[in-house]
Amino acid sequence: MVTLKDIAERAGVSVSLVSGVINDSPYVRMTEATKQKVLDIIEESGYVPNHSARSLKFSRTDVLAVIIPNISDPIFAGLLAGVYAGAEKHGYVVLLGDARELVSGSKLLERIMGHGQVDGTLIRHSATLSNDVISQLAKRRAPVVLMDVSETEDLPWVGLDERKGTARAARHLLSLGHQRIGFLGGEREYPGTQRRIEGVRRELGNAGLSLDEKDIWFGHQEPLEGYATMQRLLASGDLPTGLIVNNVTTATGVLAAAADAGVRVPDDLSLVAYLDYPAAALVRPAITAIDQPLFEVGYHSVELFERIRRGDQCESYTIQSPAPRLIKRNTTRRIGPTLVRRQTG
């Protein structure tokens, strides 16, 4: 490994001079000739400064730990893209971890808890993550920012207006004449789920309708869980005509369960999923969904982190723009007098 000292020797100058050349230090001055000579030698030797040494000196690693509930769920693709863009902009590199691996004794946990190992941590909270871990992290010196989470006092966050998002979904179904609208998916304990339900409830309330407790079906996010939750709903034999699914990932499973049970979407049941991703356009029927600016959440989370890190005055915030947008595809249709409510179960 070629070091500063090697370069200095080859150039016949001191290490401080070489360091000065590399960092354009105002303290170190030299003639243009020696500067060029040093630069040439650096170039030809392929010298790259040792990062650990710089980290030690500056107490910064330029790495950002990012924890999401499930690395492979495409629902987080947009969020991650935003994080990566922000990280690149601010000179960070991303240590990506799965919340399910953040267990006691794991290298990952050790790393993000340690000193001088990462500059900070961005977390997309979820039921898989223990509050214990979060509060431990909050005590560390390295800043923690919560992504896609809002209205928490304990830690800084960048979130979405979830109520507005699901309200948009409900408005769409209402405009198609649906009167009995259900909500499926999401964990009961997760605050985001509650806010999403509130959005639906509020919109239905504005229309003089209400969201019946029996039309709320909690469940986990994975497609297979969506399948199972939908099976429970179907088994009840008492279906709403419109269904808002907590998450587009869940919706894939919901659609499969409906198809397997012979419930036709959108003829028998209209469905709109909260949150969108490109693959939703390729399921058949293509999923009507609410698009929210997840990229922005990721990007701004890095921004917020950076401000906290520099000690700037700053506050948590909700990304309001662009507003939740309805992506009309093929899982909803106007309810008509001819719609025959199909009973299953």
Residue 15 makes contact with DNA by CB under 7 A: yes
Residues 34-63 that bind a copy of itself (CB under 8 A): 48-53, 55-56, 59, 61-63
223 binds, options DNA, a copy of itself, none, Cβ within 5 to 8 A by partner type: a copy of itself
Q: Which of 189, 208, 210, 187 is nearest to 198 (CA)?
A: 210
- Measured at the CA of 231, the angle between CA 225 and CA 233, to 5 degrees, comes to 110
Burial class (CB in 10 A: 0-12, 13-18, 19+), 34: middle
Distance CA 47, CA 51 (A): 12
Question: Contacting a copy of itself (CB under 8 A), which of 282, 313, 336, 340?
Answer: 282
Q: Which of 80, 70, 67 is nearest to 295 (CA)?
A: 80
What is the closest distance, in whole angstroms, from the C-beta atom of residue 104 to a copy of itself in the complex?
A: 13
User: 207 or 259, CB closer to a copy of itself?
Assistant: 259
User: 38 or 87, CB closer to a copy of itself?
Assistant: 87
User: 103 or 323, CB closer to a copy of itself?
Assistant: 103
What is the closest distance, in whole angstroms, from the C-beta atom of residue 1 to a copy of itself in the complex?
A: 6
Q: Which of 255, 250, 269 is nearest to 343 (CA)?
A: 269
Distance CA 56, CA 130 (A): 31
Residues 18-47 that bind DNA (CB under 7 A): 19-20, 22-23, 25, 27-31, 34
Task: List the end-to-end C-alpha distance of the chain, in Å, as a whole number.
Answer: 70
Residue 334 makes contact with DNA by CB under 7 A: no
Contact window for a copy of itself (CB under 8 A) among 30-38, 105-113, 204-212, 232-240: 105-113
Site string for a copy of itself, 239-278 (x = CB under 8 A): -------------xx-xx--x------------------x
What is the closest distance, in whole angstroms, from the C-beta atom of residue 2 to a copy of itself in the complex?
A: 8
Site string for DNA, 87-126 (x = CB under 7 A): ----------------------------x-----------
Q: Which of 127, 130, 122 is nearest to 147 (CA)?
A: 122
User: 199 or 223, CB closer to a copy of itself?
Assistant: 223
Distance CA 160, CA 191 (A): 13
Residue 330 makes contact with a copy of itself by CB under 8 A: no
C-alpha distances out from residue 139 to 99, 103, 134, 136, 160, Å: 19, 17, 9, 5, 25
What is the closest distance, in whole angstroms, from the C-beta atom of residue 20 to a copy of itself in the complex?
A: 20
Bridge partner residues of 242 (DSSP): 181, 270
Contact 286, 329 (CB under 8 A): yes
Bridge partner residues of 159 (DSSP): 318
203 dihedral zone (left: phi>0; alpha: psi -120 to 50; beta) = alpha
User: 47 or 217, CB closer to DNA?
Assistant: 47
Q: Which of 186, 192, 241 is nearest to 216 (CA)?
A: 186
Distance CA 1, CA 300 (A): 38
Contact window for DNA (CB under 7 A) among 13-21, 93-101, 179-187, 255-263: 13-21
Instruction: Give the DSSP H or E segment for 332.
Output: none
User: 4 or 294, CB closer to DNA?
Assistant: 4
> Which residues here bind DNA, judged by CB under 7 A?
1, 3-5, 12-17, 19-20, 22-23, 25, 27-31, 34, 49-50, 53-54, 56-59, 115
Note the residues at the interface with a copy of itself (CB under 8 A): 1, 48-53, 55-56, 59, 61-63, 71-72, 74, 76-77, 80-81, 84, 87-88, 91-98, 101, 106-108, 111, 113-117, 141, 223-224, 227, 252-253, 255-256, 259, 278-279, 281-284, 286
